[in-house]
Structure 1
């Protein structure tokens, strides 16, 4: 039916036109108009068609984010092959935990590692698979997530959004954007977002507030864009650990169970400033300079599970002793990133340089059972029996760290023929870190340098088939705070290498886009929590990840779009450094072998409405001590209708209210529980 309709449209247009006025008619389906992005610059640093990009890159546009009612990145993992939820803001990326995040391609994540980035003010989520060090410097080898922020617009675009849901959820968003002058040479953006909810876990109470402002001005061949973002996040009853489970992954407590008291809190306050200058020197040379600065404070006061105790002798743990942890981090960071791009015939040259400096103060006190901290039952938890104000706190860490990163990169995109491209990237990275342990008086300094490179090639066999091949390496210095002797340091930098082969294909006149990728990554010196002492870290000798990924985006009919992702991954410990526990054998923690994500939408044109359905399957995993984490499958559904300037949308997540865990750390801290059934009703008005 689709082919017949396309032929009919083409015939009608031909009959209606004079011979001298014939032109090609391209019919764009729902997938192409809603979710498909054909160009991106994250993988190469220059605007490049994905078909000519020698590395796996996925781009999730705003339409997909809004259709799935995604409030934070965890809501989108089903649409990213090879990515699953780990702990807090971290994800498992091609088998490896990573939390490396960029904004507009530059360093400076204000959310740290325990607060999950929110999607308000984000236009796209870009996901680059595999090592990216040859272009972006030190980073995790599994991949890189880049958030593209919304910019001041050339045309007026104002929107008011109200969202309500169960768990007392209420959210309000206001976005204003448009020209300040008649020629749109000056533009602005203002954004305000606020939400509140009482999640299903005991004692939890979440609040988010984001203020967003931007100003852009064109002058001559230059554009200057200034942005400011303020974040205020309050998570009551956090830092939220998991649900205790037995060796087979069965929860030993109700999924609402929480080791934290109502007075516990994880609180983040941050301000971000960014300035970007784009300039065209002439027809073949352009440049970009970005300055980014943020400062934040993160307060964590929470109860930590300290044991798994079988109090009644029935063979199952039913009680945990607890610690109380009082932690405060204060961070200031600044980055400068510059690029020059030269279009020289068949060569596109990129010269990049960047520097990043981060200073962090960390103060950590702790109380144990002997200091007045009471344990908690799994089956009948009694909260509010003691007051943390009465605990006897002991200083564990009082440190100041300074991390300095700098790098210089060179890349050549060489078009050998109209069908054949070769991309070569080379980068020199250096770091200089200082750590002062105020408690012991110990001071350390670590500096080193290393090269990273990537060599890739794409070839257009036909309009349908675009294979590619790449080889890349990575270099990652350990975080300064992890180099302290109290953490088990110092540790050698991480090193990684990857080969990847892929095929991008386009079928039915481009209505179906199918991408395939195979990869193998070898990574050395990965740090993991020591199961015997969670204040310390251990370095694994060598870990290997290999797998296959498939992404399909297409139009099943004129009104029906399908987004399907599948990934197979096998990650194993090949060599363990001296003293590393191998209780879990050679399987790597939180690395599922199979993942399947589905999102499909059908437009009901007569009603100006759409229905959608989603599914997310993650296969069995193990935690760092080898405890089984069960496989799970959850389903979502949505309905949306438009009326004039209004859009009303109903999203139902975890349709069948499945109880499941997404990942685990060590046994006594439990397995991180997935979200229960959520209902969101959204009303948006554009003006």
Structure 2
């Protein structure tokens, strides 16, 4: 957008130069998703309607008024009346204060969905109101029924997104629109009529509706994301593939683990779990050992909790330009729920197969009458649910309080804390036999029944944002995280395939990680002539310290076909013969600059670069590395629903593996080329993305075949593929999320592996389809059904391609009933009880079986 703060172009250009060179020491913060504009809930009897109109709504906000109305609100008339500033659209109803508004605006189109409402006009049109070119600067106004219980208001601006004022009156719900004027014009406020004073206004003035940023999205269609640019950006303007799994999908599929949600995204497969300690994913053929993100911060060795997730964003391809040292395949960002300004209470309970019990609570609301202090509290407890024959139970407790302090209308502070403690079996899974999987029951364990791991993680931090004006914002955020993992286990070794005897060894480990991260960003909107800029400049600092040790001792072997457990007791801590210290320190300093440039209304350029300096140290080695990570992308929109894009990006990541001699490996480097087309159909309710790409990465750490507890560098690997994702609403009540991926990922150069070998755990073809339908009217209104199909083709089990994992099709189903403020449902996973492999760990003795036929019943209520 153009700068409207009264600065000349030359001054703006000087500010632009200052941004590039002089903001290094500025404190910043990654933002919460949007700015809140929150008028008071009551107004003096003497306030004027004109003053109400000047309470403008930021065009990036999501607007809502809580609570929902359980019954339909009838809108019996619509009027579009020109005003001295623009045009007012009046939805005539006596229940305007009960309406909730969700902003789905994009580009020049203001789009507001109003649930629990129905348009019933007295005219012959019945269900639609349309006004073309009502005033200069606005080309069309449409008010229509989106479905049987939702009204959609659409206002199309000629030169930009109109500014909107929202308030309530005796007439109904009123939208006041001010069109964007061209840069050649200087907007003038109308003069006050002579003699007009506040005391001359009617005794019952219009009341402003409170505007609340909920951060929540309705349905499966999410038009914006933050991961690709560190700002809330429309997907259609991003020259890189990005998919979003919204909260509604998490609810409909009753997701407990992130892996259950990410099976909906093309090109994402679950990888090595390190015995269940973490969830590692393969994106576009490359396993993401660099970790995931949580609200933009690194989230390494842990299992993400889904109880407080708002959505999951998956950015495909290198993301180093914004987040530093990450794998080139992509990154997963877990976006958490934020405090609400109205009271909200929700409770849920899941029970299911294998003794699963999982209650959850979600509370939010204001802490003071002025609503400047808001809170949110999410907590979950989980027990059971594991189908494998361990004596160790799954047990997990999670709690996360968040407080938002609106220090002023320009400054917000968010304080966060998260604590997780859990134990579960340490499980290496099954083993390979010949060129396939050993034919043994999927619930059979090859370790010991009391193998366990216990993990505790704690994180806390803040996010501070200050808006200097409508165009310039500074953000600063800090996060401290701590994790501790303890495990006692039996490690599988070599298998005698003739006899079925599996060599084993006792193992114990205790590891800790401390991570300090500081991020500072400056965001500015300005124009250089007719070209619009959104500038992002940032500085990131991180200090990561890992410590602990691993211990090993020979253990009795076991026969995989006729196992006998408990032959020998576990050794005491001082009885282990092999002890390996685990100590490392990684310090990172990164600077980045990004500019989103609007060259024309339908032509947008994204350009950015990052410089990283990384110091690594271990007890036996030290190294320092520097890297420059660029990204360039362009988006062309020939027609409004279609975006054609292409991009180039590079990644850089320090290697966390050690050679057998203790030396650190050289960094991993990656390069991606991508082209794609993104479409938004059915008024933006259905989003599609088709992409083709090629990624190469070099110097990857892989398991040393002669010393399995250490790593060696692999020469070069390449992944090429095509991906298709479809997400959204086809018809009222009918939602869909579907994907297809063709991935050709293989070794291209290597001193230790055969060139041409396929990467492990990566199928050539994979696809998913999940769809729900909820009856919208009649006696069965609120009754819904879901069906899911998940296909994964044949995969290689290790980099040597010594065995293959067979393909499978898994079928899921659900039935649910939603009425007013409560929901009940039954989800069936693996409906036909097929045997399938969830993931492999790059070895013949680390193969994770998928769960059999599983039932989960759920009950949730909001109040």
Distance in 1 separating the partners of 2:411 and 2:681: 40
Q: Secondary structure of 1:167's match?
A: helix
Q: Does 1:87 align with 2:272?
A: yes
Tell me which residue corresponds to 1:101.
292
2:731 alignment partner, one of 539, 557, 566: 557
Aligned-pair CA distance for 1:562: 2.1
Q: What is the CA deviation profile of residues 451-488 of structure 1, one whole-angstrom value per residue up to 9, with x for unaligned ones?
A: 00000000110023210110001111112xx235445x
Aligned-pair CA distance for 1:631: 0.8
Q: Contact 2:659 / 2:711 at 8 angstroms: preserved in 1?
A: no
More deviation, 541-550/278-287 = 278-287
Tell me which residue corresponds to 1:601.
772
2:760 alignment partner, one of 589, 598, 618: 589
Q: Secondary structure of 2:588's match?
A: strand
Q: Does 1:75 align with 2:260?
A: yes
Q: Secondary structure of 2:125's match?
A: helix
1:356 alignment partner, one of 542, 551, 574: 542
TM-score (norm 2): 0.73
Distance in 1 separating the partners of 2:646 and 2:346: 43
Q: What is the CA deviation profile of residues 641-664 of structure 1, one whole-angstrom value per residue up to 9, with x for unaligned ones?
A: 123322111111111111111232
Distance in 1 separating the partners of 2:820 and 2:650: 52
After superposition, residues 510-525 of structure 1 pair within 5 angstroms as 510-525=684-699
Q: Does 1:546 align with 2:546?
A: no
After superposition, residues 118-133 of structure 1 pair within 5 angstroms as 118-133=305-320
Tell me which residue corresponds to 1:12.
126
After superposition, residues 260-275 of structure 1 pair within 5 angstroms as 260-275=447-462
**How has the CA–CA distance of structure 1 residues 432 and 246 changed in structure 2, closer, same or farther, with 3 Å as cutoff?**
same
Tell me which residue corresponds to 2:832.
656
Aligned-pair CA distance for 1:558: 2.4
1:150 alignment partner, one of 324, 337, 346: 337
Q: Secondary structure of 1:375's match?
A: strand
Q: What is the CA deviation profile of residues 604-647 of structure 1, one whole-angstrom value per residue up to 9, with x for unaligned ones?
A: 22321211011111111112231111111101011111233221
Distance in 2 separating the partners of 1:14 and 1:356: 55
Distance in 1 separating the partners of 2:329 and 2:377: 35
Q: Contact 1:247 / 1:628 at 8 angstroms: preserved in 2?
A: no
Distance in 2 separating the partners of 1:284 and 1:141: 33
Distance in 1 separating the partners of 2:128 and 2:331: 47
Distance in 2 separating the partners of 1:446 and 1:19: 65
Tell me which residue corresponds to 1:207.
395
Q: Quick check: which has more Rg, 1 or 2?
A: 2
**How has the CA–CA distance of structure 1 residues 18 and 281 changed in structure 2, closer, same or farther, with 3 Å as cutoff?**
closer
After superposition, residues 213-612 of structure 1 pair within 5 angstroms as 213-220=401-408, 221-236=410-425, 238=426, 240-310=427-497, 312=499, 318-345=500-527, 346-368=532-554, 373-389=555-571, 392-436=575-619, 443-479=620-656, 482-483=657-658, 485-486=660-661, 489-576=663-750, 578=751, 580-582=752-754, 585-605=756-776, 606=778, 607=780, 608-612=782-786
Q: What is the CA deviation profile of residues 290-336 of structure 1, one whole-angstrom value per residue up to 9, with x for unaligned ones?
A: 10001121012110111111454xxxxx2201111111101111100
Q: Secondary structure of 2:700's match?
A: strand
Q: Contact 1:185 / 1:218 at 8 angstroms: preserved in 2?
A: yes
Structure 2: state its 5+ residue gaps: 1-117, 151-216, 274-278
Q: Does 1:631 align with 2:802?
A: no
Q: Secondary structure of 2:624's match?
A: strand
Distance in 1 separating the partners of 2:144 and 2:726: 21
**How has the CA–CA distance of structure 1 residues 17 and 102 changed in structure 2, closer, same or farther, with 3 Å as cutoff?**
closer
Tell me which residue corresponds to 1:315.
none
RMSD: 2.5
Distance in 2 separating the partners of 1:181 and 1:562: 40
Q: Contact 1:83 / 1:92 at 8 angstroms: preserved in 2?
A: yes
Tell me which residue corresponds to 1:685.
861
Q: Secondary structure of 2:261's match?
A: helix
Q: Which has the higher contact order (CA 8 A, sep 6+)?
A: 1
Tell me which residue corresponds to 2:203.
none
Q: Secondary structure of 2:495's match?
A: coil
Q: What is the CA deviation profile of residues 141-160 of structure 1, one whole-angstrom value per residue up to 9, with x for unaligned ones?
A: 00011111111211211111
More deviation, 55-64/387-396 = 387-396
Q: Secondary structure of 1:154's match?
A: coil
Q: Contact 1:486 / 1:536 at 8 angstroms: preserved in 2?
A: no
Distance in 1 separating the partners of 2:670 and 2:131: 59
**How has the CA–CA distance of structure 1 residues 416 and 390 changed in structure 2, closer, same or farther, with 3 Å as cutoff?**
closer
Q: Secondary structure of 1:308's match?
A: strand
**How has the CA–CA distance of structure 1 residues 143 and 14 changed in structure 2, closer, same or farther, with 3 Å as cutoff?**
closer
Distance in 2 separating the partners of 1:338 and 1:10: 57
Q: Secondary structure of 2:394's match?
A: strand
Distance in 2 separating the partners of 1:459 and 1:416: 10
